Amino acid sequence: MFGRRDSTTPTSSHEGTGTTDGPGAGRYPAARTDEEWRATLSPQEYQVLRLAGTERAYTGEYTDNHEVGVYSCRACGTELFRSEQKFDSHCGWPSFYSALAGDRVEEIEDRSFGSVRTEVRCAACGSHMGHVFAGEGYGTPTDLRYCINSISMRFEPAAPGA
């Protein structure tokens, strides 16, 4: 049901995202109206999560986080990444070599800004998380780098002794 989808539409339009009143309506299980997203998210969160914006490098709250726990979608709460798959890529954003489960994220070809790359969205609500890059030589088990905006996630530390 979820997974990779190819699109030649620039993601800056965020067509097909998790709204119930526009393109892609009903496509995501946790879809909301644009009005509901605006009421739920801060203006900065809305810009990144719903309009496929990007926070500035090295400014996110989780870039240098090394605590054990789970990273969830800030918009809908779906668990997406675990700290065990996080690594220091020194790119300015939190980096992971794998998503929590393949069906938790959706990968979409992104042809915005004159290049081809792969956008990562939350498969439950369609919110923009960041991008995934392959073949960069980081020496991770998957040779992937999920470059994710901190503002797109919430971190839940593991319970003590877990």
By annotation, the residues acting in catalysis are 147
> If we measure between CA atoms, which residue out of 149, 86, 89, 87 comes closest to residue 120?
149
C-alpha count within 13 angstroms, C-beta hemisphere, residue 33:
4
- 116, 8 in Cβ contact below 8 A? no
Cα dihedral 68→74→78→82 (10° resolution): -20
Helices (H), 42-140: 43-49
